[in-house]
Amino acid sequence: MSDTVVVGLDVGGTSTRATALGLDGQRLGTGRAGGGNPTSHGAERAAAELLAALRQALVDVDPARVRAGTIGLAGAGRLLADPAGRDAFDRAWRDAGLRCPYAVHGDALVAYASGTASPDGTVVIAGTGAIAAGVRELRLDRVADGHGWLLGDAGSGFWLGREAVRRLLADLDRGHAPGRLATAVLAELLGCADVAARPRDTVDALVQAVTRRSPVELARLAPLVVAAAVDGEPVAAGLIDEAAAHLVESTARIRPVGDASPIVLGGGLLTGDTPLAAAVRVRVARQWPDAPLHSAGDGAAAAAWLAARDLPEVTDPAALHALLVPATA
């Protein structure tokens, strides 16, 4: 058996995860640190989290055995364009004792690779934001949406949260009693689910409560929509279905009719057995009936696989994927 080790990192806004894998699939170490997105946290801070996660993953591994590594992160293009950011990452890599080169890929590609070994396909991601991307020969090709909360992110967590507030405001405008989802949103935003004697006072308080914070924090209401949809609340179920329609519409911008390549669903709202994933699966099956559908899985392991693929001893990347990346639905 080869002595070779590969390292993969999945750098997200809230956590950084590292994994060290043998080419036989043995998990030699894992590490976890704080959010390390260089766009939101600064490259120095991101590099520090990267180093912390790497050191944990390499506690029982001789770094000289590590032959390849990949870092997956949002805003990868911006990091590579910024010499200071690249320097900070280079330093963290060396400080962890690593001497091999590393590649940097966007989080969308890593999410894709965590769901399938196929070099061509599509990834659809819905978390705080939303994006769909075509993958060709394991590189991001065309992209749809990902335009941010002001202009896009249709069907994202931000979108669900904003629409939930909009439905509540419409109820109040109409003088209707808020429904179940609207009541939950009201309680979350104002700390109390009572409507004022003049409903317009509650409207004003809600608008103020939302506009006091960063707009993107509306995404924090998305779990209320998901929970209400699981309970069968009709407004929430309608919003989930509308969000799914948006995500599939974005996907259709970049994915031809009849395409039979795999589709990977990623991001917090689409990974696993969520109502939004279920709604997207129904619409995808209608539009691309021959496409295998996968859920995104272990991003750090997928990053390690992306690193390993180019090693000379790797002759069957798909077989290696089966060994390295835990299977998902």
Stretch that binds a copy of itself, among 98-106, 137-145, 184-192, 298-306 (CB under 8 A): 137-145
Of 211 and 315, the one with the shorter C-beta distance to a copy of itself is: 211
What is the Cβ-side half-sphere exposure of residue 46, based on CA atoms within 13 angstroms?
Answer: 27
Is 253 a binding residue for a copy of itself by CB under 8 A? The answer is yes
Phi, psi (5° rounding) for residue 194?
-85, 140
Of 62 and 204, the one with the shorter C-beta distance to a copy of itself is: 204
Whole-number Å distance between alpha carbons of 119 and 53: 28
Of 36 and 161, the one with the shorter C-beta distance to a copy of itself is: 161
Please, what is the end-to-end C-alpha distance for the chain in angstroms? Answer: 30
Site map 77..116 versus a copy of itself, x via CB under 8 A: ----------------------------------------
Is 162 a binding residue for a copy of itself by CB under 8 A? The answer is yes
Which residues, listed in sequence order, are joined to residue 295 by a DSSP beta bridge?
A: 265
| Nearest approach, Cβ of residue 259 and a copy of itself (Å) | 15
Query: Binding to a copy of itself (CB under 8 A): which residues in 197-236?
Result: 200, 203, 206-207, 210-211, 215
Of 29 and 152, the one with the shorter C-beta distance to a copy of itself is: 152
Of 55 and 246, the one with the shorter C-beta distance to a copy of itself is: 246
Is 145 a binding residue for a copy of itself by CB under 8 A? The answer is yes
**Contact call for residues 118 and 263 (beta carbons, < 8 A):** no
In the sheet with 5-11, reading across from the earlier edge strand, the strands are: 27-34, 15-22, 5-11, 66-73, 102-106
Query: Quick one: how many helices (H) and strands (E) in the chain?
Result: 13, 10
Stretch (H or E) spanning 155: none
Residue in the structure block whose two tokens are 């009541």 = 183
Query: Binding to a copy of itself (CB under 8 A): which residues in 165-204?
Result: 165-166, 169-170, 173-175, 200, 203
Which two tokens mark 166? 């909009």
Count residues contacting a copy of itself (CB under 8 A)?
Answer: 27
Residue in the structure block whose two tokens are 């039979």 = 260
